[in-house]
Structure 1
Amino acid sequence: MDKLLEVKDLAISFKTREGEVQAIRGVSFHVDKGETLAIVGESGSGKSVTSQAVMQLIPQPHGIYKRGEIWFDGQQLLGKTEKQMQRIRGKEIGMIFQDPMTSLNPTMKVGKQITEVLHAHEKMSRQAAYRRAVELLDLVGIPAPEQRFHQFPHEFSGGMRQRVVIAIALAANPKLLIADEPTTALDVTIQAQILELMKDLQQKIGTAIIFITHDLGVVAKMADRVAVMYAGQIVETGTAEEIFYDPRHPYTWGLLASMPSLDGQGGKLASIPGTPPDLIRLPKGDAFALRSAYAMKIDYKEEPPLYRVSDTHFVKSWLMHPHAPAAIPPEAVARKRRHLEEVYDHPVLVES
């Protein structure tokens, strides 16, 4: 497939009084046209900073682009002026943020917030923008869109506000949609509705999606490919099938094993011991070594390279070295995967 977005060896740091926070450390990934890439990991792993870097929203001057390239639809985004990026944001790349109430202007009617995007990027007349806004509200499943057009954000429920945010993000038919934990603030019923909405809209308009989340249940429902982030690096990447059925990194095992089972049959809830490393004072070697039951001596001395498992599956772990001892994922990993299959119907993967 054709690559729509390609990030190469991206490194970003932030200046603080305590020192330089190495938030992103050599991240590389790509998104093909029309596909969904899920970026998963704990809080502080670098997921949101990566998405903000694509949108060129890293705060200056504290944020520093150390190195790397960001190619979108054949153009290099790093180095573009703010005016140039304003023509890309919303028009070429849309973004859905985590909390819809903070994304929307509480003093402005929701219809006006949609038509602003249409006026800015599509140069529509007032009447044409109104008709398109009503169509978008209807498209994202908001009843009585003509009436809702004239209402304020506080008159909508949390799920309906998130639908408005999605309508704004889709207003100019972007080629790429970045969804930064868009369902975290919603209850599970509304979350399922929003996920179904996004899948349905993607099939209708063909938009590629970067879905940022810590919820592997969401990943099982949404993703074509998965990138697992830890301490500012991608430690494993592969198709959804490879990540769920053949995970190779101990951190991925930990994420899978720590998923709760709502049926009560999952046994004791597993957790990943310890805490993420200090990104100002990173430990030598593998950043996950201190939390891993599979760490070897070399993990405390040298950072592992990226090993190729298949054409689509790559793992950053010394366990992949030919001379490393065999390591078997904990039983909880297979148990939680079986639970996902029961919840989402076998298999856990989205249809291709």
Structure 2
Amino acid sequence: MEKILEVKNLNVSFDTYAGEVQAVRGVEFDLRKGETLAIVGESGSGKSVTTKALMRLIPKPHGYIKEGEILFEGQDLVKKSEKQMQKIRGKDISMIFQDPMTSLNPTMKVGSQIMESLIKHQKMGRSQAKKRAIELLELVQIPQPEERVNQYPHQFSGGMRQRVVIAIALACNPKVLIADEPTTALDVTIQAQILELMKDIQKKTNTSIIFITHDLGVVANVADRVAVMYAGKIVEVGTVDELFYNPKHPYTWGLLGSMPTLDSEDEELFAIPGTPPDLLHPPKGDAFAPRNEFALEIDYQEEPPLFKVPGSESHYAATWLLHENAPNIEPPASVKRRIEEMARTSESSESENNE
């Protein structure tokens, strides 16, 4: 599959009164056409900062891209001027933010908000833009779009507002859609509907999606590949099946172990001990070592590279446990149980779909 986006050695820092916070440290990944890549990790791991850097939306002067390349269709976005980026944002790369109420202007009709980018980027007239706005509301499954196009955000429910935000993001048929925790503010039922909607839209439009979340349960339903972030770095990357059924990094084990399932009501949920490191002073060696019960002596001295997982072309993990001289350490029993439960759930849902 052709790559539409390549991120190479991305470093993003923020100058604070206490010093330089190294929020993103040497991140590298690619995105293929028509693919959904999920970026997962705890709060503060650098997920949102990474995607804001892709859009060149890091707040200046305190935030800045210190180093690296963001190649979109071969062009380095880091070298683009603000004026050039304004032509790319919304048209080629769009973003759906967490909270629809902060994304929508409460004083403007939703139709006008969708029409804005159509008039600016697609050079449409108002009547043509309004017709397209109605089509977009229909695409995101808002009932009676001809009436709702003339309503204000406060007249919509939370789930419907998020659909409007998705319609705005899709207005100019972007090649890349970045969804920054788009279902966090919604209840579970609406969350499932929005995720299903995004999968459906992707099939129709073949848009490439970067999906940011802290919820691994969401990832299983939407992503093709997953990148796990910790302390500003990608620590594991692979296909959904590789990450869920053959995780290699102890941090990924912790995330899987802390994930509730339908079978786990009597079982105590695992919690990763400790807290993420202070990126004012990134630790020497593996940043996860102080929270890792399987840490080796070398973890405190030297940062592990991304090792290729044997037998896979797409699975990599930054852990010394994959070194040829490392002891053979298996995931904890709680994580193995979780993997077995997920496999059973997946098999039963597949058999239901086949019936």
Instruction: Verify same fold: TM over 0.5.
Output: yes
Q: Deviations over 1:38-65 (max 9, x none)?
A: 0000000000000000000011111122
**1:281-300 alignment runs, 5 A limit:** 281-300=281-300
RMSD across aligned C-alpha pairs, in angstroms?
1.5
Distance 1:96 1:328, change over 3 A: same
Q: CA shift at 1:337, angstroms? A: 3.1
Distance 1:346 1:121, change over 3 A: farther
- TM-score w.r.t. the length of structure 1 is 0.96
Query: For residue 13 of structure 2, what is the amino acid of its counterpart?
Result: S
* Distance in 2 of aligned mates of 1:139 and 1:46: 32
Match of 1:204 in 2: 204
> Is 1:150 matched with 2:136?
no
Match of 1:131 in 2: 131
Q: CA shift at 1:281, angstroms? A: 1.4
Query: For residue 327 of structure 2, what is the amino acid of its counterpart?
Result: P
> Is 1:77 matched with 2:77?
yes
Match of 1:320 in 2: 322
Query: For residue 335 of structure 2, what is the amino acid of its counterpart?
Result: V
Query: For residue 307 of structure 2, what is the amino acid of its counterpart?
Result: Y
* Distance in 1 of aligned mates of 2:232 and 2:41: 10
Distance 1:347 1:220, change over 3 A: farther
Match of 2:339 in 1: 337
Match of 2:195 in 1: 195
Query: For residue 18 of structure 1, what is the amino acid of its counterpart?
Result: A
Q: CA shift at 1:331, angstroms? A: 2.1
Match of 1:303 in 2: 303
* Distance in 2 of aligned mates of 1:216 and 1:121: 35
Q: CA shift at 1:125, angstroms? A: 1.0
Distance 1:151 1:29, change over 3 A: same
* Distance in 1 of aligned mates of 2:23 and 2:224: 26
Identity of aligned residues (%): 67
Which stretch shifts more, 318-327 or 46-55? 318-327
In the alignment, is the contact (CA less than 8 A) between 1:4 and 1:31 conserved in 2?
yes
Query: For residue 143 of structure 1, what is the amino acid of its counterpart?
Result: P
Query: For residue 312 of structure 1, what is the amino acid of its counterpart?
Result: S
Q: Deviations over 1:121-172 (max 9, x none)?
A: 1111111101000000011010010110111101100000000000000000
- Aligned residue for 2:79, secondary structure, equals coil
* Distance in 2 of aligned mates of 1:323 and 1:261: 35
Q: CA shift at 1:342, angstroms? A: 5.5
Q: CA shift at 1:27, angstroms? A: 0.2
**1:1-352 alignment runs, 5 A limit:** 1-265=1-265, 267-309=267-309, 310-341=312-343, 346=348
Distance 1:346 1:337, change over 3 A: farther
- Aligned residue for 2:78, secondary structure, equals coil
* Distance in 2 of aligned mates of 1:276 and 1:75: 34
Q: Show structure 2 runs of 5+ residues with no match.
A: none
Query: For residue 317 of structure 2, what is the amino acid of its counterpart?
Result: V
* Distance in 2 of aligned mates of 1:45 and 1:199: 26
- Aligned residue for 2:28, secondary structure, equals strand
- Aligned residue for 1:66, secondary structure, equals strand
* Distance in 1 of aligned mates of 2:299 and 2:266: 31
- Aligned residue for 1:279, secondary structure, equals coil
* Distance in 2 of aligned mates of 1:159 and 1:6: 32
* Distance in 2 of aligned mates of 1:67 and 1:270: 37
Q: Deviations over 1:287-334 (max 9, x none)?
A: 000000000111111111111113201110111111111111112223
Query: For residue 247 of structure 2, what is the amino acid of its counterpart?
Result: P
* Distance in 1 of aligned mates of 2:123 and 2:247: 48
Q: CA shift at 1:344, angstroms? A: 5.7
* Distance in 1 of aligned mates of 2:22 and 2:157: 38
Q: Which runs of 4+ in 1 moved over 2 A?
A: 261-266, 334-348
Which stretch shifts more, 148-157 or 331-340? 331-340
* Distance in 1 of aligned mates of 2:104 and 2:347: 35
Query: For residue 179 of structure 1, what is the amino acid of its counterpart?
Result: A
Which stretch shifts more, 10-19 or 256-265? 256-265
In the alignment, is the contact (CA less than 8 A) between 1:220 and 1:340 conserved in 2?
no
Distance 1:150 1:346, change over 3 A: same
Q: CA shift at 1:67, angstroms? A: 1.0
- TM-score w.r.t. the length of structure 2 is 0.96
* Distance in 2 of aligned mates of 1:340 and 1:161: 32
Q: Deviations over 1:66-108 (max 9, x none)?
A: 2110001121101211111011001001110000000000111
* Distance in 2 of aligned mates of 1:189 and 1:344: 20
* Distance in 2 of aligned mates of 1:346 and 1:75: 45
